[in-house]
Amino acid sequence: MQVANLIRDADQAIAGRDYSRAASLLEQAAAQSPSDMGLWMRVAAMRRGTGELDQALDAVHKALAINPREFMALLMRASLLQKLGHPEAGEAWGHALAQKPDHKLPDQFTPIVVEAEERYAAWQDEQAAKMNTAMAAAEARADDDERRRMDRFRSNTLRRTKPYHSSPTDFFYPELTEREFHPRRLFPWIERVEAATESITAELRQVMAAERTELVPYVQYDEHIPMDQWRELNNNPDWTAIHLLLRGDRIEANARHCPNTMALLAELPQPQIGGASPNGMFSLLAPHTVIPPHVGVSNSRLVCHLPLIVPEGCWFRVGGETRYWKTGEAFVFDDTIEHEAMNPSDELRVVFIFDVWHPDLSPVEQEAVAALIGSRLTGGGGL
């Protein structure tokens, strides 16, 4: 019998509420149209409706053989596994959610998506508990850094986070250690920076009150340049900077008000690269402003944040780790790993920012990096 006739007869059987016959006819039609995923999904729906869950699951698997990433088929598979009490049900919900379309789904799908999220989260919690138990002995002997990495290992395994890697826009130096946030122990000067918080904040207030302060948008580039990661904030006054050092140049209008801050910067291991570095600035983020995900220019340097004025709720994400800025608590991160930030408050947020060499670079490597980047930036630019 031709496929069209089989489908017609199946529709008539459905109208007569003979769902078993309808499923049988649709199976025959699907067998004759092996690339028609929709027919196998109809079979699955019919078999599920008659309570034949194993047959419904088999039909879904045949549909997924045609398109393994079809969201609705994956959702149905997870739902059927759940009803069957199958141990793979929890992870199946996650596989389905991973293929959820970016666009808004019809309202009738909202309940099953909510169910998927709840069941997948419950499965993740169960798996996390098992992993915690299995790793407990090793974790008890670990130091803080090791425990942090173990926790991220669990989180990545459960797909609550994912691996992120250094992806500089221009200058990638090989074999440097990739870390989202680098451990404090690598930077013996960091406590000295934190101890200067009050002094730096006082000088920030001085420079902000000065008549000739140069307050400029943090992001400035010609509109024709293909830099979509900055499009919304290009020349936007919601994210501004008071530069003390900019691509190696002292910004006198600002720096003259900050002698203690400038003296501190002079003691730090900042890159000395013509046209690129050192850099030191006060970063001002307006209320209710988002800095979108982006990456920096070179992994040969790291960036340090010293929070000065931090309203409640201001956060900063690098890769898979999100931190809340805390006044006077500095951290060092790799800005060539995807990062973003937000000030959700009604007040201004201010962070002191400067760059330092990546600690893996030897002095001769620092010299080589400076020579290469400097040679590329003779016409301007920045690190």
Q: What was the pLDDT predicted at 210?
A: 84
Phi, psi dihedral angles at 192 (to 5 degrees): -65, -40
Is pTM beyond 0.95? Reply is: no
Task: Answer whether residue 224 shows pLDDT above 50.
Answer: no
Q: Grade residue 231 by pLDDT with cuts at 50, 70 and 90.
A: low
256: number of CA atoms within 13 Å, CB side?
8
pLDDT in tens, 98-146: 999 988 888 888 998 999 999 999 999 999 999 999 999 999 999 999 9
Which CATH architecture group holds 181-220+227-376?
A: Sandwich (2.60)
What are the structure tokens assigned to 240, written together?
Answer: 């501004």
Q: Grade residue 355 by pLDDT with cuts at 50, 70 and 90.
A: very high
Look at 41-45, 51-55, 237-241, 258-262 and tell me which has the smallest mean pLDDT: 237-241
Q: What was the pLDDT predicted at 85?
A: 95
Q: What was the pLDDT predicted at 222?
A: 57
CA dihedral sign of residues 106, 108, 109, 110? positive
> For 258-274, what is the mean pLDDT?
97
pLDDT in tens, 292-335: 999 999 999 999 999 999 999 999 999 999 999 999 999 999 99
Contact 319, 338 (CB under 8 A): yes
Q: Grade residue 230 by pLDDT with cuts at 50, 70 and 90.
A: very low
Domains 3-122 and 181-220+227-376 share a fold: no
> For 281-293, what is the mean pLDDT?
96
Looking at per-residue pLDDT, the higher value among 240 and 219 belongs to 240
pLDDT in tens, 136-156: 999 999 999 999 999 999 999
Q: What was the pLDDT predicted at 3?
A: 84
User: Which single residue is written with the structure tokens 């942090």?
Assistant: 148
Contact 150, 138 (CB under 8 A): yes
Task: Answer whether residue 64 shows pLDDT above 50.
Answer: yes
> For 75-88, what is the mean pLDDT?
96
Look at 207-216, 230-239, 305-314, 335-344 and tell me which has the smallest mean pLDDT: 230-239
Q: Looking at beta carbons, which pairs linking 128-137 to residues 24 or more positions away fall under 8 Å?
A: 128/154, 128/158, 131/157, 131/158
Distance, CA of 318 to CA of 294 (rounded, Å): 10
Average pLDDT value over all residues in the chain: 91
User: CA angle 340-341-344, nearest 5°?
Assistant: 150
Contact 248, 242 (CB under 8 A): no
> For 210-217, what is the mean pLDDT?
63
Q: Which among 3-12, 225-234, 316-325 has the top mean pLDDT? A: 316-325
Distance, CA of 173 to CA of 169 (rounded, Å): 12
pLDDT in tens, 155-179: 999 999 999 999 999 999 999 999 9
Distance, CA of 318 to CA of 333 (rounded, Å): 8
Domain at 3-122, CATH class = mainly alpha
Q: What was the pLDDT predicted at 380?
A: 45
Distance, CA of 30 to CA of 221 (rounded, Å): 57
> For 258-264, what is the mean pLDDT?
98
Contact 353, 322 (CB under 8 A): no
Q: How far is CA 173 from CA 114, 168, 177, 182, 367, in A?
A: 44, 9, 10, 17, 13
Contact 271, 355 (CB under 8 A): yes
Would you list the domain boundaries of the chain? 3-122, 181-220+227-376
Distance, CA of 261 to CA of 370 (rounded, Å): 24
